[in-house]
Chain A
Amino acid sequence: MGVLDKPVTAPERVGRNTSLGGPNSRGRRSSGFESIADSPFFVRGSIDKENGTIPRGLPEFLSRGQSAPMPSDSSGRLELAEWIASPDNTLTARVIVNRVWHWIWGRGLVESVDNFGASGSTPSNPDLLDHLATEFVTHGWSLKKLIQTIVGSHAYRMQREPRRLDAETIRDAMLAASGALDPSPQAGSLIAMAGDGPIGGDRFQVMPEEAVATANGRYRSLYLPIARSVQPEVLSVFDFTDPNTVMGARETTLVAPQALYLMNSDFVAEQASLLARRVMAAGEDFETRFRHATQLVFSRAPRADELAAARRLDRGDSASWTSICRALFCSADFLFLP
């Protein structure tokens, strides 16, 4: 929402332009957001075509022209936030409720989760959407409460379409099964630690892109660094959304790079090896160990055919148990939500 703050003034903008690769860009530049003013109107979004200014306010098509004038001594961000999260603004509540529904069921009540406009799809059950949105606001915008309501419902206990876990869950579930998961937040992300400056690129880089691409560790996926130009491989390989886009409904693909990641990556090998150590400590015989493994990875006892198939790999050593554990991580029973 930088545009609602102080805009970049013309000479500073020239400075920014050249900083994108020009020769005269060395040295300290202004951030362009030091004082409060209205933004210039950039014709068709082009930074070199200015035409007047736009008073700060809410987009007319969203506020039905009801937008109050913004205070002259502050940016208007507070007013914007209050308007977005106002109980009277039913759009916000319906959009987030629909997203949560989508994440749980694989399909939203409104299927076009990013488009509640005229070209989007109509809700399959508008009353339910309104009910959930109203309840959501009444319960203080609590996502936890909303999720409890949905997963506690009779409908949730009926058959659902199976689907693959999302990137974060695959990684977190592996760390949880291997016993390596550190649930505490990381003390400042990689990006925060690096400080101001571009990631990657030729000049002024504070961090190479690889540092983000290979970021992993044992904390939850939620705490992995996300940069505009690059995401951790462990997430991007499983259809993590490009953070530049608005994307409430991710693609779910089943492609060879994911299979290669599960079969050959250092991360999965490490988790399989830790899990192997864990299940080998659980007992001496194959069956005790394998039962412990499926309990940790599938949260259930093994089926007879699974026991028989896994037994063929068991040589009693950590290498063969690492193989068995990796195979469990590669299986549909782990990767899919029934």
Chain B
Amino acid sequence: MNRRHLLQSTPLAFGWLGLSALAAQTGPAKSAKRVIFLCMRGAPSHVDTFDYKPRLETDSGKPGARPGTQLLGSRWKFRRHGQSGHWISELFPQLATCADDLCVLNGMQTDLPAHPQAYLKMHTGSSQFVRPSLGAWTHYGLGSLNDNLPGFITITPASGFGGAQNYGSAFLPAQHQGTRIGADKRPITGAEVANLRPKIDPAGQRAELDLVQSLNRSHLTLHADPQVEGLIESYELAYRMQSEMPAVMDLTRETEATRQLYGIGETVTDDFGRKCLLARRLVEAGVRFVEITHGDWDHHSDLGEKLPASCAGVDKPLCGLLTDLKARGLLKDTLVIWGGEFGRTPHVEGNDGRDHNVKAFTLWMAGGGVKAGVSHGASDDHGYEAVSGIVTIPDWHATILHLLGLDHEKLTYRHAGRNFRLTDIHGSVVHDIVG
């Protein structure tokens, strides 16, 4: 292990020194300091939520763009909201009150219409190869804001769809990988970070740790090895983390009013509300990147029942999160992202479902320096294919990094003989949505 290697791999977090210099250069916006990514696993229908298509209603029952298909109009009413006039369907009544905070991307596109591939593409930029995740790149580029906490946390991540690769660090050093809290499809209540709970009482553990550190210092007097200094520091950091983390995760420290704002205590919204409040507490405490997974949005059938249920589960917490972040002055430099791995077809599948659609879907972002109250891009009259303001996954990644003050062409890591980027050889920053 040479000196540079050591600086990159110890908990002293020097690894990003060179990169923070890169970030300080003029260019990238640098308006976001942290990210909350609300990942809707399974792919929500855009034409029933944020992409209003009046022609789809009038053409319902007629043939769709794909041969042999039949269009299905949305059964939910759309209305304009706020000063921005964003079209939002009645499935998001609470979020609609936050319409003016949203930057809605209606021209999203991705490559492959299968969940694992699209999900990995969204999270790592590649559906074919193992690459570092968006959160890992962010943490590699910007480092930690609080050394006593993990810099990248993922809450109840998907177990399928590429699993741990979606928050992995691939060839980036391991400290950039996401720390998991909770498991897919399980309630967040009671979930913990692995190995955070000591096996013995605090005094006993401190005494044990003092012995560890005496042994290590004894080692150091015989072999002056900077790695052992790193090891000593890692135990102190772990010790601080295990005392700080449970306090950050303790939602009972919030007022009843705040808990209600997130829908905690209401059957439908309790779980996602807790995840959102936890995310706010984590970013407030200095975690750089928090991802929350919510599923399942893969509505191939029973759209009429399942979509309203999914929306109801997240609607109030989403509004609560934006409202709370704003009230605490955190929204201006916290980038909030909502979306799934692709969209759904305007034509019907079975009697009452929608199939996968990679040609058009909607994502929205808020805070962190994105233009509030604007929409960007559009799909065709039926919402089948994006026709203007097309944003590909690499474009979207480039824009997120740009908002964080990172140039996606310069944020590289040398591996196997060449420099790698999140955006590979693709990606253009969508300057139209940068405030």
Residues of chain A touching chain B, judged by Cβ–Cβ distance below 8 Å, are: 17-18, 20-23, 45-46, 48, 106, 112, 114-115, 117, 119-120, 161-164, 198, 200-202, 205, 208-210, 229-230, 233, 239, 242, 244-247, 251-261, 263-265, 269, 303, 305-306, 309-310, 312-313, 319, 323-324, 326-328, 330-333, 335-336, 338
If A21-B115, A247-B171, A326-B208 touch, whether A163 touches B165 (CB-CB below 8 Å) is no
Q: Which residues of B contact A251 (CB under 8 A)?
A: 9, 173-174
B223 sits at the interface (CB 8 A): yes
Cβ of B265 within 8 Å of any chain A Cβ, yes or no, is no
Contact at B195–A263, with CB atoms within 8 Å?
yes
Q: State whether the Cβ of B234 lies closer than 8 Å to any Cβ in chain A.
A: yes
Contact between A161 and B231, CB atoms less than 8 A apart: no
Decide if A256 touches B238 in the complex (CB within 8 Å). Answer: yes
Interface residue B21 (Cβ < 8 Å from any Cβ of A): no
Task: Find out whether the CB atom of A254 lies under 8 angstroms from the CB atom of B194.
Answer: no
Given A23-B349, A164-B227, A247-B171, A260:B196 Cβ within 8 A: yes
Q: Are B219 and A332 in contact (CB under 8 A)?
A: yes
Please report whether the interface of chain A is mostly helix, strand, loop or mixed according to DSSP: loop
With A and B bound together, what is the CA distance between A303 and B350 in angstroms?
A: 75
* Bound Cα distance A261, B179 (Å): 13
Can you sample 22 A-B contacts with CB below 8 Å? Answer: A114-B417, A229-B162, A229-B164, A242-B165, A244-B129, A247-B171, A253-B174, A256-B150, A257-B150, A259-B234, A259-B235, A259-B238, A263-B195, A263-B239, A264-B198, A303-B218, A305-B214, A306-B218, A312-B207, A328-B215, A332-B215, A333-B215
Q: How far is the CA of A45 from the CA of B112 in the complex (A)?
A: 12
Name the distance in Å between A306's Cβ and chain B's nearest Cβ: 6
- A323 B234 Cβ-Cβ under 8 A: no
CA distance A336 to B1 in the complex (A): 12
Judging by beta carbons under 8 Å apart, are B204 and A258 in contact? no
Q: Which of B409-430 contact A (CB under 8 A)?
A: 416-418
Closest Cβ of chain B to A244, distance in Å, is: 4
Is B110 interfacial (CB-CB < 8 Å)? no
Is the C-beta of B228 less than 8 angstroms from some C-beta in chain A?
yes
Known: A20-B116, A261-B195, A309-B211. A331 touches B242 (CB 8 A): no
By beta carbon, the residue of chain A nearest B236 is A259
Report A-chain residues with C-beta under 8 Å of the C-beta of B350: 23
Collect the chain A residues with CB atoms within 8 Å of residue B162's CB.
229
The answer to the question of B225 belonging to the interface, with a C-beta cut-off of 8 Å to chain A, is yes
B179 to chain A: which residues have CB within 8 Å? 257
- In Å, the complex CA distance between A21 and B417 comes to 35
* Chain A residues near B285 (CB-CB < 8 A): none
Q: Which chain B residue has the least Cβ–Cβ distance from A294?
A: B215
Contact between A309 and B214 (Cβ–Cβ < 8 Å)? yes
Interchain CB contact (< 8 A) of A119 among B114, B117, B242, B417: B417
Q: Which of B209, B218, B239 has the most CB of A within 10 A?
A: B218
CB within 8 Å for A230 and B238 given contacts A244-B130, A333-B215: no
Q: Hey, which chain B residues are within 8 Å of A201, CB to CB?
A: 159-161
Give Cα distance in the complex from A260 to B194, angstroms: 8
Known pairs A333-B215, A338-B223; list 6 more (Cβ under 8 Å): A21-B116, A229-B160, A239-B174, A260-B194, A265-B195, A331-B215
Q: How far is the CB of B74 from chain A (nearest CB, A)?
A: 20
CA distance A125 to B364 in the complex (A): 56
Using CB atoms and an 8 Å cutoff, list the residues of chain B in contact with chain A.
1, 9-11, 111-112, 114-117, 128-130, 150, 159-165, 168, 170-171, 173-175, 179, 183, 194-200, 204-205, 207-212, 214-216, 218-220, 223, 225, 227-228, 230-231, 233-235, 237-239, 241-242, 296, 298, 300-301, 349-350, 353, 355-356, 416-418
Residues of A within 8 A of B183 (CB): 210
Q: A20-B115, A259-B238 are in contact. Are A163 and B215 (CB under 8 A)?
A: no
Q: Could you tell me the distance between the alpha carbons of A312 and B207 in the complex, rounded to whole angstroms?
A: 9
In the bound complex, what is the Cα–Cα distance between A305 and B200 (angstroms)?
25
Given A326-B208, A331-B219; A255-B225 close (CB under 8 Å): no
A17, A20, A261, A265 pick with most chain B CB within 10 angstroms? A20
Q: Which residues of A contact B237 (CB under 8 A)?
A: 256, 259
Whether the pair B215, A309 counts as a contact (CB closer than 8 A) is: yes
Q: Is the CB of A327 within 8 A of B211?
A: yes
Bound form: Cα–Cα A117–B298 in Å: 44
Shortest Cβ distance from residue A329 to the other chain B in the assembled complex, whole angstroms: 9
A24 CB to closest chain B CB (Å) equals: 9
Docked Cα-Cα span, A35 to B242, in Å, equals 56
How far is it, in angstroms, between the C-alpha of A6 and the C-alpha of B98 when the chains are bound?
55
Chain B min CB distance to A104 (Å): 15
> CA separation between A162 and B212, bound complex, in Å?
19
Q: Nearest-CB distance from B9 to chain A (Å)?
A: 4
Q: Given the complex of chains A and B, what is the CA–CA distance between A247 and B128 in angstroms? A: 17
- Are B204 and A112 closer than 8 Å at their CB atoms? no
Give the nearest-CB partner of B162 in chain A. A229
B-chain residues with CB within 8 Å of residue A163 when the two chains form the complex:
1, 227
Residues of A close to B129: CB separation below 8 A = 244
Which residues of chain B are within 8 angstroms of A239 by Cβ–Cβ distance?
A: 174
Pair B227/A162 contact, Cβ less than 8 Å: yes
Q: Given A254-B9, A257-B195, A331-B212: A242 and B170 within 8 A (CB)?
A: yes
Distance in angstroms between the alpha carbons of A210 and B159 in the assembled complex? 9
Question: Contact: B207 with A20, CB < 8 Å?
Answer: no
What's the minimum C-beta distance from B149 to chain A, rounded to whole angstroms? 9
- Give the shortest distance, in Å, between A204 (CB) and chain B (any CB): 10
Sorted nearest first, the 6 A-B pairs with minimum C-beta distance are: A201-B160, A259-B238, A229-B163, A20-B114, A119-B417, A21-B115
The docked-state distance in angstroms from the alpha carbon of A260 to that of B163 is 23
Given contacts A239-B174, A331-B215, A260 and B207 within 8 Å (CB-CB):
no
A45 and B170 alpha carbons, distance in the complex (Å):
20
A213 and B140 alpha carbons, distance in the complex (Å): 25
Closest A-chain residue to B164, C-beta based?
Answer: A230
B46 to chain A, nearest CB (A): 18
